[in-house]
Amino acid sequence: MHSELAQVLGLDAELESKLIDVLSDQQMAHLGRFYSEWPESPAPHSVTSRDPMEEVRQLADQETRSKQQIRDVLGEERSERYLSYADTLGERCTVDYFNAHLNEEDRLTADQKELLMKLLRAQQDADMARRRAGVR
């Protein structure tokens, strides 16, 4: 899931392992919260008693804690690079999937991967803009 993480961020094996541990713990905590809040048999059109603004605050606090954990492992500069990296995970997964299905001699170079990720993001942005224009 974190393709080329060490190369993009310039991490040695030890630091990469620490970051993967933090990211794994965060993902497990996220899944734990998700499934603990999932109702066993939800009533149709039921209204929860929880304050929606409190839920938003809790999510924001959790996001802040998660980013701080990453910053604690990587430092300020690398944590900023990680956030940029994380923003491209969808495109990276698509490029990796595509690249894995190419013959060895046709595999993409690092520059080609970067260009394809940019093209995928531009296409996604254009699709979003078209959907928004159609709604308004």
pLDDT in tens, 86-133: 999 999 999 999 999 999 999 999 999 999 999 999 999 999 999 999
Q: Is residue 44 part of a domain?
A: no
Residues 82 and 131 occupy one common structural domain: no
Residues 96 and 83 occupy one common structural domain: no
Q: Which domain holds residue 101?
A: 88-136
pLDDT averaged over the chain?
87
What is the average per-residue pLDDT within 44-66? Answer: 78
Q: What is the CA radius of gyration of the chain?
A: 19
Q: Which residues contact 102 (CB under 8 A, 6 or more apart)?
A: 108
Q: Which residues contact 91 (CB under 8 A, 6 or more apart)?
A: 116, 117, 120, 121, 124
Report pTM: 0.71
Q: Is residue 68 part of a domain?
A: yes
Residues 123 and 94 occupy one common structural domain: yes
pLDDT exceeds 80 at position 39: no
The pLDDT value recorded for residue 40 is 57
The pLDDT value recorded for residue 121 is 95
pLDDT exceeds 80 at position 10: yes
The pLDDT value recorded for residue 38 is 58
Residues 82 and 95 occupy one common structural domain: no
Residues 98 and 32 occupy one common structural domain: no
The pLDDT value recorded for residue 45 is 46
Residues 95 and 82 occupy one common structural domain: no
